[in-house]
Structure 1
Amino acid sequence: MDVGIPKPEYPRPQMVREAWMNLNGEWEFEFDDEDKGKKEEWFLYHSYSKRIQVPFAYQSKRSGIHITDFHDIVWYKREIDSKELVPDKRYLLHFQAVDYQAELWVNGIYAGIHRGGHVSFTFEITPYLKEGKNVITLRVEDDSENLELPRGKQFWKETSENIFYTRTTGIWQTVWLEPVNEIYIERIRMTPDVDRKMIRMEILLNKRAEAELAVEISYGGKRMVRDTVSIFKGKTVREFKLDQNINKEWEHKCYEWTPDNPVLFDVKFLLRTGTVPKDEVGSYFAMRKVSVENGRFLLNNRPCYQKMLLDQGYWRDSLMTAPDDEALIKDITLCKEMGFNGARKHQKIEEERYYYWADKLGFLVWAEFANAYIYSEKYVEYVIPEWIEAVTRDYNHPCIVAWVPLNESWGVDSIMCREEEQAHASCMYYLTKSLDTTRSVISNDGWNHTHSDLLTIHDYECGGEALQRRYASMERILKDMPANRTLFARGHHYEGQPVIVSEFGGIAYQKNADSGWGYASADSDGEFEEKYREVVESLLDSPLVQGFVYTQLCDVEQEINGLLTYDREPKLPPEKIRAINQGRK
C-alpha cells in the first residue's frame, strides 16, 4: 500500500492549513529544583545552562540530556525573529502535549497556563509579539510523586520497575506556530450517518461572526459534494448526503471505512466574509458506524471480531514520543502483518499523527486515558477537564471505536464498595457519552465495571484448557474471577454486553540482551509459538468471546512480553502469528 509520508509531518492532520512553522529542535533548557525561576524572573533574565532537543523529554536519549533524576520544574526558552512571521496575521502557538502544567511568557509578558499532560493546547500570542527577536519562555511543573495526577505508566520512583516505566516531564510532542486571520475556523466536528449515507458537520469559528463557508467533499480527486453554507453567530450545522453522488464506479466498491477498506473522503473548507477569503482548511472523514445490538459488537452493522494488541506507545530512545512518522507506520503495519486489526493504546492519549495513520491504513483503536492512582476531590478536578479535551480533540478520527476512561480501577481502587468511586466511574461513562454517542465506552476496563457498553476482562491465565472452560459459558465467565476481582462492582450486573478479553497472554521471551519478565515464559521460538497458539486458540474457540487484546505489541523496558523486541524486531515471523490469529493450524 502506498502511504506516502507528507513532509514536514503536520501535527494536526484533521485540520490542515498550508502555512505553519515547526518549532521543534534545539531550545534552551534549565532545571529549577529550588523553584526560584518565577521569583528571579527567568522569563526576563536568565542564562540557561543546558540545551534540549524538543519535542523529546529530558529523560530520553533523544533529548540530548538523558537523565532520569527527579526534576519537577523545568524551563524552556526559544527565540523567533519577526522576519520569519507574516505581517498582519494573528499567531497561534500550539503545544501538542506538555506534561503536566505549562505556563507561557512571550517577551516577558505572561500569556497563559494549561494543566493536563496528554492533550493539545493553544495560546494566541499576537498581542505580545514585536519587531525583531521574540522570546518564548515556558515553565513546566510535573510532580513526580503526586499520585492524584493523571500519569498512566509513568512511575513515581526514579527507576522503573514492574509494569511502570520511565517518566516524561515537559514538552513531549510537537510545538508549532500558525498564522491566521482575525476570523478563522476554530473547530470542525464531523459525524457520519452510515444508515442514511450522510455526513453531519458542525463548524465553529473563533468569534461570533457572520460568514460564508464553501464546502467541497471529494474522493480520489473526484468531487462528490460542493455547497455554500451561511454561518451565523460563529456557528453552523449542516448535513450532506453522499449516495446521490455515488456513480457506477462505486457499485463494486464499498464506501464504508473498515480495516480492510479504509476509505477516506477529503474535505476542503473555504471561509469568506463577503468576497474576502478568511481561512482555508483541509480535512477528511470516513463513513463508519460503531454499535452494539443484541449483544454483538458491530462495525457498519456487521459483526466485527476485534483482534488487537496492547500498545504502550514507548520507544527505547524517545520514551512516549514517537521518533518520526515512519515509527508510527511501522507499528501499525507490523500489527496488520501479524493478523491484528487494532490496538488498545494503553494508558496514553496518543498523538494525532498516530490516529491519522490508523485512519489511513485501516486500524481500529481503543483510546484510553492515562489514569491517576489515588481518588480524591483533587483527582476529579485533574481528570475530568483533560478527558473532555481528549475526547473533543479526537472525535473525528474513524479509527477510534472505543473510549476507555478508566483501567483496572486505577484511581478508584475501592470501587467495588465505595459509592463515590462507583459514581465517578459512571460519571466518566456518561460524561463520555454526553460528548460522543457514536462509540463504545468502557467504564473500568478489566473488572469491577459499573455502566459499560462492553464487558472487558483481564485474564492472564496461561493454560489453554483452563481458558477454554472459563469462556465456554456465560455462567462460568461471570462466576470466575481471573484477577481475584468480580467483573462488576457491587450493585451492578451483566446486561448482555459483548465479551472482550482485553488483556491476556503476556508471554515473556528474551530474544536479545534485554532481560525482564512476563506473565508466563518461553525459552525457544517453538515454545513461544506453541504457548501463543494455546492462549489465542482458547479464545477463538469460545462461542461468547467477540474479541481480544493480547499483551503486548513490543517489549518495554523491564517487560519482555512483546511479540516484538523493544526495537520492533519480530520474535517470530509475522506470518506465523497471523496464521494463529486466523485459526489456521
Structure 2
Amino acid sequence: MTNNTIPRKEYPRPQFERQDWVNLNGEWEFAFDKDNIGEKEKWFNKDKLNQKIIVPFTYETEASGIGEEEFCANIWYQKEVTVPTEFENKRIILHFQAADYITKLWVNGQYVGKHKGGQIAFSFDITKYLSADRKLNIVVKNEDSFSCAQPRGKQRWLPENFGCWYVQTTGIWQTVWLEFLNEANLESVKITPDIDTESVEFNLEFSEDVLQPNLVLKTEISFENRIVKEFEVGINRTLHTVKTDIASEYFHWKIMQWSPHHPNLYDVKFTLYKDGKAVDEVQSYFGMRKVSIENGNVLLNNTPIYQRLLLDQGYWKESHLTPPSEDAILEDIDRTLEMGFNGVRKHMKVEDQRFLYWADKKGLLVWSEMAATYEFSDEAVQNFTEEWMEVVKQQYNHPSIITWTPFNESWGVKNIYTDVKQQKFTEAIYYLTKAFDSMRPVIVNDGWEHTISDIITLHDYVEYGDEFTERYQDKETVLNNSIAFNKGKHAMAQGYEYKGQPVIVSEYGGIAFNSEEGWGYGNQVKNEEEFLHRYESITQAIKDMKYISGFCYTQITDVQQEVNGLLTEDRKPKIDLEKIKKINLQ
C-alpha cells in the first residue's frame, strides 16, 4: 500500500516482501535542536515542529527541502499516522531502512526505544502504543556526531569538505514504513544456494508465537512462473533449517544458474498456516550461484571470471547518499553495464536494498563494503563489529554480492602494517564474517597491508601503462613486500605472507578533465582524446598482466569536489561510453 505522490514509493525490502504495508516517506515535521534541549522540554509530545522536511532525504540535501550543510548533532522528526481499519488487531512494526546515527523513538508521547548504527535497517514493534482512535504520533530524535569511532564512510568529520570526504549525512536517509503482521509470522530467512548439489537451504526464524499449535509452513519455489518445487513442514521450536533439491523436469532436470550473462532468479513464496488458514505470506527470491577461489583465480559457478569493476560511491547531487528514485538506481546500473563493466565496488557505503535487487535482476556483480571508522579504539572496534555483522546478515541473500570488503586502505586501522592489535582485529572480522557466510571471499584490507585475505587487492593511481608494467611485472617482488607502491605502501602487513590468492587492482585511474573546482588523480586531461589515450594505456596494461584477475576503475560519477567520474554528478557522460566499452572488452 503506497501513495504515488511520495518519494521512493517502491517496496523497500524486495527480498522479504509482504502486501500489508504503508510507506511513510514524504513530508514530516522537522526541527534542529542545536542546544540539545528537546528531551528536557519534551518535544516528543509535540504534534508540530518548526520546519518541514521531505523524508527520506537528509536536511543537508536539496531534495529534503532544507539544504543546510552545517552540522547539527541533534534533530527531530514528527509525523501523525492513522492506521487503516483493515489492520485492526494486527501487530504494527515501524521500519527504518537506515538512519544515521542514533535513533530514539516516541509514539503517542511514550518512549519506545533506541537504535545505534547509521548503515543498517532496524525496526520497532509499536503495537501497544496505538491510541483508541487508531492514531500514531511518531516522534524521532536522531543524534549524530563527528566522532571517528562511529562507522561514517565518506562523511566528513570537519566543518568543511576535504580530500575525498564529503558533506555528512544526518538522520533518516532511507525509507520509513509500517508493516502489519499477525502474531505468528516468519521473521527472516537465510537462503544458501548450492549448485554442486543442485539444492538450496533455508534457515528460518519465526516470531515468538511459533509455539502455537497447528502451524505449518508451505514453501513454493518457481522459475518464470512455473513451480519447480513445493513442500510443507510443521513448525516447532526445533525447526531451523530446511534443505531441498530444485532440479526440475521443466528444465531437463537441471538448475538455472545465476551469472552476469544469465541472471536467473528463482522466486519463492513462504506461507504460514494456522489450523489451515494463512496467517503470513512472504515473497522472496534467490539465485543459484557459487563463488570460490582456485589456483589464483576467482571462480563463479566453478569457472574463472575476470572482474571489470567500477568504483561506485552512490552519491547524487540533490540527495547525496539517498538514491533520489528507483529510476536513478536503474540509470547507474544500466550505464555501468553499457560501458562494458560487469560489476561495481560499492565504496564506503552500505547500499540501498533496491540497488541490490536490481543488481540481482540485471546480473551486476557487487563488492559490498563497510563504512569506515577513522580511529582504532575499544569503542570503534565494538561499533564497527556490531554493525558490520548486521550488514552481512541483511545482505546475505543477494546473489549479486560476490565479495565482502570490511576494511579499506587501513582506514580505522592506520597502524595495521606493524600493530599486532589492529592486525588481530581485522583477522577477527574476517573469521566472524566467514562464520556467518562461508560462501563469499572476504578482503582484508582492500588496497594494501593485507593480513588474512581471500583476495589480494592493490590500489595504484599510476597514470600510464608502461610505468605500471615496470612496477608490477615481477609478481613475487610485489606480493612479498620487496617493493613499495602507492606512496610507500606494501601488499602485505608485517608478519603475513602471500599464499597464492587471486590479485585484483581494485583502485586505479581517477582521470579528471581540467577543472579549477575539483580534483582527480594525477595530471588532468584537456579533451576526450587525451582521456582515452590514458584510459586505454593503463587499463590494457592491467589486463595484460597475467597474474592479475580483475580491475576496478575510479569512478562512475563525480562526487562533490572529486571530479574524476566517467559521468558528471548529474549523470551526463564526459566521453563516448561506447569507446570505454571497446577498451574494456578488447
Q: Same fold judged by TM-score > 0.5? A: yes
- Match of 2:223? 219
What does residue range 189-338 of structure 1 map to in structure 2 within 5 Å?
189-207=190-208, 209-210=210-211, 211-233=215-237, 235-248=239-252, 255-338=256-339
1:531 aligns with 2:534: yes
Q: Could you tell me whether the CA contact under 8 Å between 2:183 and 2:209 is conserved in 1?
A: no
Q: Could you tell me whether the CA contact under 8 Å between 2:47 and 2:78 is conserved in 1?
A: no
1:156 aligns with 2:160: no
1:568 aligns with 2:571: yes
Give SS of 1:508's match.
coil
Give SS of 2:298's match.
strand
Write the distance in 2 (CA, Å) between the matches of 1:357 and 1:42. 40
- What one-letter code is carried by the residue in structure 2 that aligns with 1:36? I
Say what the alpha-carbon RMSD is for the aligned residues: 1.6
Give SS of 2:354's match.
helix
For 1:489, which of 493, 502, 515 is the aligned residue?
493
- Match of 2:507? 503
- 1:310 deviation in Å? 0.6
1:186 aligns with 2:190: no
- 1:244 deviation in Å? 4.1
Q: Could you tell me whether the CA contact under 8 Å between 1:471 and 1:544 is conserved in 2?
A: no
Give SS of 2:210's match.
coil
Write the distance in 2 (CA, Å) between the matches of 1:138 and 1:432. 32
Give SS of 1:232's match.
coil
- What one-letter code is carried by the residue in structure 2 that aligns with 1:486? H
- What one-letter code is carried by the residue in structure 2 that aligns with 1:137? V
- Match of 2:429? 428
Q: Could you tell me whether the CA contact under 8 Å between 1:501 and 1:548 is conserved in 2?
A: yes
Give SS of 2:240's match.
strand
The C-alpha deviation readout for 1:131-159, integer Å capped at 9, x for no partner, is 3332000010000x211111000011222
What does residue range 540-555 of structure 1 map to in structure 2 within 5 Å?
540-555=543-558
- What one-letter code is carried by the residue in structure 1 that aligns with 2:494? R
Q: Could you tell me whether the CA contact under 8 Å between 2:218 and 2:271 is conserved in 1?
A: yes
1:142 aligns with 2:152: no
Q: Could you tell me whether the CA contact under 8 Å between 1:96 and 1:121 is conserved in 2?
A: yes
Q: Could you tell me whether the CA contact under 8 Å between 1:506 and 1:520 is conserved in 2?
A: no
What does residue range 379-398 of structure 1 map to in structure 2 within 5 Å?
379-398=380-399
Write the distance in 1 (CA, Å) between the matches of 2:523 and 2:183. 59
Write the distance in 1 (CA, Å) between the matches of 2:243 and 2:262. 24
Give SS of 1:243's match.
coil
- What one-letter code is carried by the residue in structure 1 that aligns with 2:578? E
Describe the shift of the 1:564–1:273 C-alpha distance in structure 2 as closer, same or farther (beyond 3 A). same
Describe the shift of the 1:85–1:44 C-alpha distance in structure 2 as closer, same or farther (beyond 3 A). farther
What does residue range 45-56 of structure 1 map to in structure 2 within 5 Å?
45=46, 47-56=48-57
The C-alpha deviation readout for 1:493-521, integer Å capped at 9, x for no partner, is 1010000000001111259x964333332
- 1:234 deviation in Å? 7.1
Question: Which stretch shows the higher mean deviation, 83-92 or 419-428?
Answer: 83-92
Question: Which stretch shows the higher mean deviation, 185-194 or 239-248?
Answer: 239-248
- Match of 2:450? 449
- What one-letter code is carried by the residue in structure 2 that aligns with 1:142? D
- Match of 1:370? 371
Write the distance in 2 (CA, Å) between the matches of 1:566 and 1:150. 25
Give SS of 1:442's match.
coil
The C-alpha deviation readout for 1:421-466, integer Å capped at 9, x for no partner, is 0111111111111110110100110111111000011111112111
Q: For structure 1, which runs of at least 5 residues remain unmatched after alignment?
A: 1-6
- What one-letter code is carried by the residue in structure 1 that aligns with 2:139? T
How many residues are aligned here?
Answer: 573
Give SS of 2:87's match.
coil
Write the distance in 2 (CA, Å) between the matches of 1:510 and 1:180. 56
- 1:388 deviation in Å? 1.0
Write the distance in 2 (CA, Å) between the matches of 1:192 and 1:473. 38
1:578 aligns with 2:581: yes
When the two structures are superposed, what TM-score results if normalisation uses the length of structure 2? Answer: 0.95
Describe the shift of the 1:341–1:38 C-alpha distance in structure 2 as closer, same or farther (beyond 3 A). same
Describe the shift of the 1:46–1:217 C-alpha distance in structure 2 as closer, same or farther (beyond 3 A). closer
Describe the shift of the 1:510–1:355 C-alpha distance in structure 2 as closer, same or farther (beyond 3 A). farther
- 1:83 deviation in Å? 4.1
- Match of 1:521? 524
Q: Could you tell me whether the CA contact under 8 Å between 1:290 and 1:440 is conserved in 2?
A: yes
- 1:485 deviation in Å? 1.2
Q: Could you tell me whether the CA contact under 8 Å between 1:208 and 1:234 is conserved in 2?
A: no
Q: Could you tell me whether the CA contact under 8 Å between 2:9 and 2:25 is conserved in 1?
A: no
- Match of 1:3? none
- Match of 2:341? 340
- Match of 2:71? 70
- 1:534 deviation in Å? 0.7
- Match of 2:118? 117
Q: For structure 2, which runs of at least 5 residues remain unmatched after alignment?
A: 1-7
Describe the shift of the 1:476–1:23 C-alpha distance in structure 2 as closer, same or farther (beyond 3 A). same
Write the distance in 1 (CA, Å) between the matches of 2:238 and 2:77. 35
- 1:414 deviation in Å? 0.7
Q: Could you tell me whether the CA contact under 8 Å between 1:517 and 1:558 is conserved in 2?
A: no
Give SS of 1:518's match.
coil
The C-alpha deviation readout for 1:512-538, integer Å capped at 9, x for no partner, is x96433333211010011111011000
When the two structures are superposed, what TM-score results if normalisation uses the length of structure 1? Answer: 0.95
- 1:472 deviation in Å? 2.4
Q: Could you tell me whether the CA contact under 8 Å between 1:460 and 1:482 is conserved in 2?
A: no
Give SS of 1:486's match.
coil
- Match of 2:354? 353
Give SS of 1:199's match.
strand
- What one-letter code is carried by the residue in structure 2 that aligns with 1:330? E
Write the distance in 1 (CA, Å) between the matches of 2:47 and 2:192. 49
Write the distance in 1 (CA, Å) between the matches of 2:572 and 2:83. 46
Give SS of 2:310's match.
strand
- 1:482 deviation in Å? 1.7
Give SS of 2:507's match.
strand
- 1:240 deviation in Å? 1.5
Describe the shift of the 1:568–1:480 C-alpha distance in structure 2 as closer, same or farther (beyond 3 A). farther
Identity among equivalent positions (%) equals 44
- What one-letter code is carried by the residue in structure 1 that aligns with 2:317? R
Q: Could you tell me whether the CA contact under 8 Å between 1:29 and 1:48 is conserved in 2?
A: yes
